[in-house]
Every structure is written in C-alpha cells, then in structure tokens.
A and B are shown apart, each in its own frame.
Chain A
C-alpha cells in the first residue's frame, strides 16, 4: 500500500522557470510533511517541511503548499537553476515524538536545462 503518492516521476524545466512537484497522502494521521533533495551518491538532505496548521511555507526559492482537505501537498521551486537538478522526495510522518518514521514518495527526478 503506497501511502504517499508522488508525481511526476521526472520533470524537465527551463532555467528560471517554476518547478512543481505534487504529493498526495492517504493516512490522515500524518502530521508532518518534509521534502528532501538528493544528489547522486549522496544521502537525502532536508529541504523544507510543513505541519498541517499552515497552508503554505516559504524558504528562499522553495515553497510548500498544503491542502489538508484534499490530502495533498506540493513543492514549488521558483527561478529554477541548474544546481537544483536532483531527485526530490516528499515524505510524511505521524509527527509525534516517538513515532517519527518517514513514509516516502517515489521521487521526482528534476532536470533544469539552460
């Protein structure tokens, strides 16, 4: 049972454009939603995270939009740069101490072309 569905599988965006990656979850107990960025040969790096009490969180060029009623959340990368080319994973956890295990989406390979 895939509890976090991520799309698209791959994405090509021109430099300066907006990259959008979407995720949907099933478990309504999920309460913490991080995004990770992974470069080849590296471990995932925490990019930005949100709790459901806010609908949007912005950090620099990265924004999470959250729709609790639709059980969906998305990552927007503004002014995308070639250095943003990586694989992005959304994740979810129940968000209480003692139960922080992450359920990951399947990943989106993002390529930014000049």
Chain B
C-alpha cells in the first residue's frame, strides 16, 4: 500500500497570507490527524477528522482549520499567517475501529517570512 502523501513538501509564505496543505491517507484509512512540529514546542496535535467530521481538536487558535472529503483526503488551512506558524506540518492516517496505529506522512515544511 502507498503511504501517507502530503503536498506540497515545502512552502514559503509571507506573514498575513493564508495557506492550504493537503494530505492523502493510506487507502482504507478513514481517520486523518494533523500535527505541528517545531523545535520549541515539539509535536502538537492540531485536529482529527473522521468521515468528514472533526472529531477531536487541539489547543490551537481558530486560524487553524481543516476539512475532510468523502474520499478521506484532508486539507488544513492556516489564515493570517504569523512568523510563529513556521513549522513542519504532519498528517497521520489511522484505520480506526481496528487499530490505534497512526502512520505519518513526510510533512509539509512551511516557512513564514
């Protein structure tokens, strides 16, 4: 099976802009979670989607949002970018209902200037 794919892999944006990141889960996996990884804060949970519904949410401001499509693909959006949003954004997919294992994609490296 193909792994989790994320696009784009690298992105440079200017403060105040918005950005959309995309994630395609492993085939058959219905749950998609997003994490932010920074040197200072480590890996932090953003939100999780299952069957097109946000099921869990971390402690991030409303500028961070996401959605999931009927084919389980997911997007996350960050509006009004701040310098502190520079991070590696990781997507993880999980089959749910059969396993707790989460499989991560390679991430999207976002740099805000």
Residues of A within 8 A of B17 (CB): none
Known: A100-B94, A104-B42. A43 touches B4 (CB 8 A): yes
Residues of A within 8 A of B24 (CB): none
CB–CB A49/B101 < 8 A: yes
CB–CB A43/B33 < 8 A: no
Type the 1/0 row for B60-89, where 1 means its CB is closer than 8 Å to any CB of A: 000000000000000000000000000000
Q: Is the interface of A mostly helix, strand, loop or mixed?
A: loop
How many inter-chain contacts with C-beta < 8 Å in the A-B complex?
63
Q: How far is it, in angstroms, between the C-alpha of A98 and the C-alpha of B94 when the chains are bound?
A: 11
Tally B residues with Cβ within 8 Å of A. Answer: 26
Q: Is the interface of B mostly helix, strand, loop or mixed?
A: strand
CB–CB A89/B43 < 8 A: yes
Known: A32-B100, A45-B104, A93-B100. A100 touches B43 (CB 8 A): no
Q: Is A113 close to B, CB under 8 A?
A: no
19 further A-B pairs in the complex, CB-CB below 8 A; given A44-B104, A46-B104, A97-B100? A34-B101, A34-B102, A42-B106, A42-B107, A44-B43, A89-B43, A93-B100, A98-B50, A98-B96, A100-B94, A101-B45, A101-B56, A101-B58, A102-B33, A102-B45, A102-B92, A105-B42, A106-B42, A107-B43
Binding site for B on A (CB under 8 A): 32, 34, 36, 41-46, 49, 89, 91, 93, 95, 97-107
